[in-house]
Amino acid sequence: MSKPSDLVQGTLDMLILKILALEPMNGWAISQRMKQISSDVLGVSDGSLYPALHKLERRGWISSQWKASENNRRAKFYSLTRAGRKQLEKETANWNRVSSAISGIVMLKEA
Amino acid sequence: MLFAQQSRSVRQRLRSLFASEKQDREMQEELRQHLEQQIQENIARGMAPDEARLSAIHAMGGLEQIEQQCRDARGSSFLEDLLQDLRYGIRQLRRNKGFSVLAILCLTLGIGANAAVFSWLEGILFRPYPMVVHQDRLFAVAERVQGESGADVLSWPDFLDLRRNCTLCEDSFVSKITSSTLNIGDRAEITTGSVVSANYFDAIGVHPALGRGFEPNEDSGNDAHPVVVISYQLWRSRFKGDPQIVGKTQRLNNVPHTIIGVAPEGFYGTFVGWAMQFWVPVSMESTFSSGGYKLEDRGARWVESYVHLKPGVTRAQAQQQISAISSQLQASYPTINRGRSIGLWALWETPFNHAGELLPTLEMMVAVVAFVLLIACANVGNLLLVRSFVRRHEMSLRLAIGASRGRLWKQLLTEGLILSALGTGGGLLFAYWSRHALKLFFPARSGVSMYLPGTIDARVLALSAGVSLLVTVIVGLIPALQLRRLDLSGPLKSESSSVVGAHSGAWIRSGLVIFQVSLSFLLLIGAALLLESLQKIRTADPGFTTTRVVTTGVSLVAAGYSDAQAKIFQDALIDRLRALPGVESVAHARVTPLGFKAFSSTPIAVDGYQPALNELPTVDYNQVSPDYFATLGIALVSGREFLRSDDEKAPPVAIVNQTMVERYWGGQDPVGRRVQVKGRWARVVGVAADSKYYSMREGPKPFLYVPLRQDFDRASDLNLRTTQPLQNILSGVLREVHALDPNLALYEMITLQERVNRATSPQAVAVTLVSMLGGLALLLAAIGLYGVMSYAVAQSTRELGLRMALGAGAATLLRLVISRGLKLTAGGVLLGAVAALALTRLLGNLLYHVSPRDPAVFASALAVMAITAISACLFPALRAARTDPARVLKN
């Protein structure tokens, strides 16, 4: 059990914010969605999802609420806050800048 | 936004503090739901229910760890961590009951010993007087005399001048110890009380439970105000708590006194060591002591006094003003006050009660109990270390999942806190039970109730809390030392347990044991030195017989005898007592040696002796009756004893001691020569051997004797030389005294040996306490050594088994373990011996004719230590010798 690296950690945070930007969800749904969209490539374990959710909540980027879920059971639903939306914009911009720089390098033709 | 974030975070933290239980439940519910859904999905995929559950748990990666991580992610408050650690720590302690009991017992003893000594210091030295207000501003007042050590007391007129002129003093009062015969029914008893200034009860803020205190006019006049305030105990025990007591009459020293008040319960007066039973105003002073009316006599020094400084005034400021007043008194009354300066004494140095006597013993005790505490801490630290090896796995795991080292330190400190808090609780109980223990070391004596209370007040509690905090840090940090070397791969590596000895980390434990052994060795040496001193001082030859001589006194002053009546009585009594069976000889003396009473002192002149320019030869002297030397067994080197014919009508005579002969007559026999005593020339008729006068420790000093009849004092002691034990002759003496006058009381009768023992009781207290604590320290060190050796043997069973398999016999293994234990002991002894050489000198005054480096003392301490060490190692060694190689190697 080693700590996820900072890159993965930061990426995980951004993914969670992005997913929640679409609609409020509970933990199980987030983990399913995550597997779906990342096609299991990132290999985010459920073990690291929940600590990350609690951390984001503490930072005030997401908030939580107990609501009835689809199958009519009470579950904890997370939603993006205003601060979270701003954070997501910042991180997305950041991500675009970094990833375009990296892909620029990767795309360089080998002469 | 930053603010919003922060305030949100603060709110979250607050919520997490108050609602952490709820949050925890919610988090667990959330995780449980996730797990369930995973299981259902697994089942939907075709797994069997059990398999589905296992697979789901596996995918999560350990529920408990995720929970802990979520908590860490959420961020927890200090208090929350603390509560969690407390719960965890208490669970741990309950799981290891043997460990916990031993650790708490060690700390209870260590902290309890400290708290008890603190309470004695507080109750006897710093705040000695229950119920008295503002003791932090209270000082004793006495005079220093130029060229003399010690202190003298003031006269009443000087005291009044001081009181009038000391503007920095809030108030000043007199409290002079005295005694009185108390006749109630047919019993005449001697009891102690105080002669006090009229403002006494107001100044100390104590208000009588019944009746009133004194009024200002009761300070003046000769025996003008026969009023008395009695103690609560006296009221209960002797007057059966009579509610109508105020206004009744009680004879004190044969003078009827009106009882005007009863002091409140729990008030014992202002004299360290004894409980006072009554208080009379200073105007009654001459009823209670010989020497006549003294309130107008500036030369009569008897006033034992105290001042309260005004709030905010420092001792130095007050001393400055008092010195100025004192200079004024010297200038105004040069013949009486020359060379005398008035000074302030802190309560614990008070020169006229038992405070100063106990000060050196109690000072030493502070160091001794600190040692005991350190030894106890080392023991607990060692126990915790052993446990921390066991808990290595748990600690490494927590580090691995992201707990910070700080977090683990906090947990270890919390566990230390639990132990020290329990130890402190036990220790305070221990101190509470032993708060009156000091009294037990002083022999009971009639007429005096000893009162040496320990006080457990806010200051003692605060100090004990401080000690407890120190203990927390020490016992918490010792295992934390181990934490430092913990790394993530820790649990994977097995501890390399090599020969009984040097595996990693063993040095801390060995170091602790060496430390314990050295401290207890130091205490052993201290106890042995004090014990030897006490034996030497009690068996030293004082120059007179101690076992067959008893001393007492008759209450002539109290009964109102005149000098003339007293002389007739004394002669008659001696004739009667001499006729008693078992009595060899009887003599009066103004002062019997080694008591509290002071000898008279006089300037002398000697024919043929030319004093140096600035020398005024002065000697102490005693007034004794015929047969004094025969009775006490002081040898006469030359000449004769005093005779009945050496009375007030005969020419003055004197007997001098050998040191005086050496100094003033150059060693020549002075019998027949002249010496001037108190301005009168006397003929030397004899030379007495040197003896002890004030204390067993004094060196030879010049001293002389004059006949009691030629310098009379009614308040003289009675000494008898007998062939019988004391109790056999007591009734006979009492019968003869009552045959002469049934109203007289006999003072306590004791042997001179008892007097020597009482004079050396501070040494006895020191010996008893240090021996007890030294024994305790030894026991703790033995436990420490036993623990380390047991653990070492348990850790190296594999190696021991191997050695055995390779042919080592049981005896070899036994030797191996014991020699390792003795090596540790030797290290401790060496350190302790070095410390002892440096520190025992501090025992200073408590030692008597024993060198602090006495080899015999070191040798006996070494023997005790070695025997203790071998017994502590024996059990682990036997266990090592019983190692079964077959079983060990199979494992």
Q: Is the minimum CB–CB distance between A9 and chain B shorter than 8 Å?
A: no
Q: Which of B60, B74, B75 sits opposite A46 (nearest CB)?
A: B60
DSSP state of B699: -
- Which of these, B279, B466, B467, B247, lies nearest to B372 by C-alpha position? B467
> In angstroms, what CA-CA distances link B266 with B73, B232, B553, B584?
59, 8, 31, 46
ipTM for the predicted complex comes to: 0.85
Question: Which pLDDT score, from 0 to 100, does residue B492 have?
Answer: 40
Which of B495, B473, B468, B469 is CA-nearest to residue B388?
A: B495
User: Phi then psi for B171, rounded to 5 degrees?
Assistant: -160, 165
Min mean pLDDT across A54-63, B135-144, B177-186 is at B177-186
Hey, what are B233's tokens? 């105990």
Determine the residue type at B441: F
Tens digit of pLDDT for each residue in B142-154? 998 776 666 788 9
Q: A84: nearest CA in chain B?
A: B5
pLDDT band at B850 (very low <50, low <70, confident <90, very high): confident
Q: What pLDDT, on the 0 to 100 scale, is given for residue B484? A: 64
In this structure, are residues B631 and B550 in contact, taking their beta carbons and an 8 Å threshold? no
Q: What is the pLDDT of residues B58-100, one digit of tens each?
A: 777 667 667 767 776 776 666 777 777 888 788 878 887 888 8
Q: What is the pLDDT of residues B555-594, one digit of tens each?
A: 787 777 888 999 999 999 999 999 999 999 999 999 999 8
Q: Count other Cβ atoms within 10 Å, centred on residue B680.
A: 14
Cβ distance B87 to A66 under 8 Å?
no
Torsion of the alpha carbons at B783, B789, B793 and B794, rounded to the nearest 10: 40
Q: Is the Cα dihedral B353, B357, B360, B363 positive or negative?
A: negative
Q: What is the residue type of B725?
A: P
Q: Does A76 touch chain B (CB under 8 A)?
A: yes
Query: Distance from A103 to chain B by nearest Cα, in Å?
Result: 33
The CA–CA distances, whole Å, from B822 to A9, B326, B814, B829, B865 equal 57, 64, 12, 10, 10
Nearest to B471 by CA among B825, B112, B809: B112
Q: What is the least distance, in Å, from the CA of B5 to any CA of chain A?
A: 6
Chain B, nearest residue to A73 by Cα: B33
pLDDT digits (tens, 9 = 90+) for B669-686: 999 999 999 889 999 999
* Contacts by residues B676-680 (CB-CB < 8 Å, ≥ 24 positions apart): B676/B604, B676/B605, B676/B606, B677/B602, B677/B604, B677/B621, B677/B652, B677/B704, B677/B706, B678/B602, B678/B711, B680/B652
- What is the pLDDT at residue A111? 54
Q: Distance (Å, rounded) from C-alpha B195 to C-alpha B159?
A: 14
Does B313 have pLDDT greater than 90? yes
Q: Say which amino acid occupies B151.
A: A
Asked if the model's pLDDT at residue B542 lies above 70, the reply is yes
Q: What is the mean predicted confidence (pLDDT) over B627-634?
A: 95
Q: Quick one: three-class SS letters along B335-402?
A: HHHCCEEEEEEEHHHCCCCCHHHHHHHHHHHHHHHHHHHHHHHHHHHHHHHHHHHHCHHHHHHHHHCC
Partners of A16 on chain B (C-beta within 8 Å) are none
Q: Do A58 and B73 touch (CB under 8 A)?
A: yes
Residue among B12, B30, B62 minimizing CB distance to A58 = B12
Task: Give CA B144 to chain center in angstroms.
Answer: 27
Contact state of A54 with B34 under an 8 Å Cβ cutoff = no
Q: Look up tokens 């006895």; give the residue.
A: B764
pLDDT band (50, 70, 90) for residue B398:
low
Please name the residue of chain A whose CA is at the shortest distance from the CA of residue B73: A55
Q: How many CB atoms lie within 10 A of CB A59?
A: 18
Q: Are strands B340-346 and B138-145 parallel, antiparallel or unpaired?
A: antiparallel
- pLDDT of B179 higher than 90: no
pLDDT of residue B415: 84
- Which pLDDT value is given to residue B3? 52
Q: What is the pLDDT of residues B864-884, one digit of tens each?
A: 999 999 998 888 888 888 877
What percentage of chain B exceeds 70 in pLDDT?
Answer: 89
CB pairs under 8 A between A and B: 73
**Residue of higher predicted confidence among B705 and B511:** B705
Interface membership of A35 toward B (CB under 8 Å): no
Q: Which H/E stretch holds residue B154?
A: strand B154-155
Neighbours of B332 (CB within 10 A): 11
For B509-519, what is the mean pLDDT?
87
Token pair in block for residue B149:
């050590």
What is d(CA B251, CA B189) in angstroms, rounded to the nearest whole number?
11
Q: What is the pLDDT of residue B5?
A: 54
Least Cα separation, residue B373 to chain A (angstroms): 43
% pLDDT > 90, chain B: 33
Interhelix angle A82-107/A6-22, nearest 10 degrees = 120
Contact across the interface for B5 and A73, Cβ inside 8 Å: no
Residue B65 with chain A: CB contacts under 8 Å: 1, 47
Confidence (pLDDT) at B595: 78
Q: For residue B99, count CB atoms less than 10 angstroms from its CB and return exposed for 0-12, middle for 13-18, buried for 19 or more.
A: middle
Q: Is A68 on the interface with B (CB under 8 A)?
A: no
State whether the Cα torsion A93-A97-A102-A107 is positive or negative. Answer: positive
* B1, B29, B66 ranked by CB distance to A51: nearest: B66
What are the pLDDT digits (tens) for B318-357? 999 999 999 999 899 887 888 889 999 999 888 888 777 7
Chain B residues with CB under 8 Å of A44 CB are none
Give the whole-angstrom CA distance, residue B843 versus residue B360. 8
Q: Would the CB atoms of B74 and A73 count as touching at under 8 Å? A: no
Taking residues B184-201, report their average pLDDT.
Answer: 81
A109 touches chain B (CB under 8 A): no
Please give the pLDDT value at position B324: 95
Q: Which two tokens stand for residue B605?
A: 């002149």
Nearest CA in chain B to A48: B66
Chain A residues near residue B70 by CB distance under 8 angstroms: 50-51, 54
Q: What is the pLDDT of residues B408-460, one digit of tens each?
A: 788 888 888 898 899 999 999 999 988 888 777 766 665 566 677 788 888 88
Cβ B342 vs Cβ B142: under 8 Å:
yes
- Residue B223: the pLDDT is 84
DSSP code, position B882 = T
Chain B contact present for A42, CB below 8 A = no
pLDDT at residue B51, as a whole number: 87
A28·B34 Cβ contact <8 A:
yes
Q: CB-based contacts of B675: which residues, under 8 Å, 6+ apart?
A: B604, B605, B606, B607, B654, B656, B664, B681, B682, B684, B704
How far the first Cα of chain A sits from its last, in Å, is: 42
pTM of the model: 0.72
- Closest Cα in chain B to A76: B30
| Nearest CB to A45 within list B37, B61, B75 | B61
Sign of CA dihedral B52, B58, B61, B62: positive
Residues of B in contact with A66 (CB under 8 A): 26
Within 10 angstroms of residue B544's Cβ, the number of other Cβ atoms is: 22
Subunit contact A60:B9, Cβ cutoff 8 A: yes
- The single-letter DSSP state of residue B125 is I
A12: tokens are: 């995980």
- Of B622, B604, B718, the residue nearest B665 (C-alpha): B604
Strand, helix or coil at B175?
strand
Q: How far is A20 from chain B (nearest CA, A)?
A: 17
Distance, CA of B74 to chain centre: 54
The amino acid sitting at B85 is: D
Task: Please list the residues that pair with B169 across neighbouring strands.
Answer: B309
Contact B879, B793 (CB under 8 A): yes
Chain B residue numbers touching A55 (CB-CB < 8 A):
73-74
- A57/B34 Cβ within 8 A: no
Task: Name the residue of chain A whose CA is nearest to B61's CA.
Answer: A47
Q: Which of B392, B405, B210, B360 is nearest to B847 (CA)?
A: B360
Residue B640 in this model has a pLDDT that exceeds 90: yes
Average pLDDT, chain B: 84
The pLDDT score that the predictor gives to residue B59 is: 76
Given this model, what pLDDT does residue B487 score?
55
* pLDDT at residue B488 is higher than 80: no
Got the DSSP string for B62-114?
-HHHHHHHHHHHH---HHHHHHHHHHHHHHHHHHSHHHHHHHHHHHHHHHHHH
Closest CA to B618 of B666, B667, B675: B675
B211: left (phi over 0), alpha (psi -120 to 50) or beta: left
CA B803 – CA B605 distance, rounded (Å): 88
Residue B350 pLDDT: 87
Burial class of A23 by CB neighbour count within 10 A (0 to 12, 13 to 18, 19+)? exposed
Token digits for B152? 């003298």
- Asked if B27 lies within 8 A of A54 by C-beta distance, the reply is yes
**CB-based contact B198:B284 (threshold 8 Å):** no
CA B809 from centroid of its chain's CA atoms: 53
Residue ranges of chain A with per-residue pLDDT less than 50: 1-7
Task: Give A-chain residues touching B34 at CB under 8 angstroms.
Answer: 27-28, 31, 46, 50
Of B586 and B25, more confident: B586
Rounded average pLDDT over B822-840: 89
Question: With contacts defined as CB-CB under 8 Å, which chain A residues touch B9?
Answer: 58-60
A66–B26 C-beta distance less than 8 A: yes
Shortest Cα–Cα distance, B89 to chain A (Å): 25
Predicted pLDDT of residue B1? 45
Q: Quick check: A37 contacting B, CB < 8 Å?
A: no
Provide the pLDDT for residue B244. 92
